[in-house]
């Protein structure tokens, strides 16, 4: 266990997330989108675009970024920051893979997506 992140919650199997796709994890704090890039790297962000709250899980993944389906902002999956001329950030969640299972930090989930 990592003290900074506290308990880790098992949220599903790596194979359940399609490449260049996303899977939603519903929590009491809101939905989390777990993305898998074409190269197999996984990312977890709150499923809420920093522009006007669009569902990033429904966006198009390219490289390590996702384009929001509502107004086409491009959000970095690595940082949660909007790219280009747009300004804003969605909170990223720590993620680890253990024995083919995806785990997210319970502490960070409890802290919620922020503003």
Interface residue list for ligand FES (CB under 6 A)? 49, 51-54, 68, 70-73
In whole angstroms, how close is the CB of 4 to ligand FES at the nearest point?
30
Nearer to ligand FES, 28 or 84 (CB): 84
> Which strands make up the sheet holding 65-67, listed edge to edge?
60-62, 65-67, 74-76
CB of 67 to ligand FES, least distance (A): 8
Question: Whose Cβ is closer to ligand FES: residue 52's or residue 62's?
Answer: 52
Nearer to ligand FES, 57 or 105 (CB): 57
Give dist(CA 105, CA 27) in Å, integer: 12
Residue with tokens 């989108």: 33
Distance CA 65, CA 61 (A): 6
Q: How far is the CB of 82 from ligand FES (least distance, A)?
A: 8
Of 20, 17, 92, residue with least CA distance to 50: 92
Helix residue ranges, H only, the chain = 106-111
Instruction: Find the shortest distance in angstroms from Cβ 49 to ligand FES.
Output: 3
């Amino acid at each position: 266990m990592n003290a900074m992140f506290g308990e880790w919650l098992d949220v599903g199997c790596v194979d359940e997330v399609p490449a260049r796709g996303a899977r939603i994890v519903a929590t009491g704090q809101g939905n989390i989108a777990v993305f898998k890039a074409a190269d197999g790297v996984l990312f977890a962000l709150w499923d809420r675009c920093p522009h006007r709250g669009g569902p990033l899980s429904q966006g198009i993944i390219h490289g390590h970024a996702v384009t929001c389906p509502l107004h086409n902002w491009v959000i970095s999956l690595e940082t949660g920051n909007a790219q280009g001329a747009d300004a804003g950030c969605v909170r990223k969640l720590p993620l680890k893979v253990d024995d083919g299972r995806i785990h997210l930090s319970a502490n960070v989930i409890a802290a919620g997506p922020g503003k």
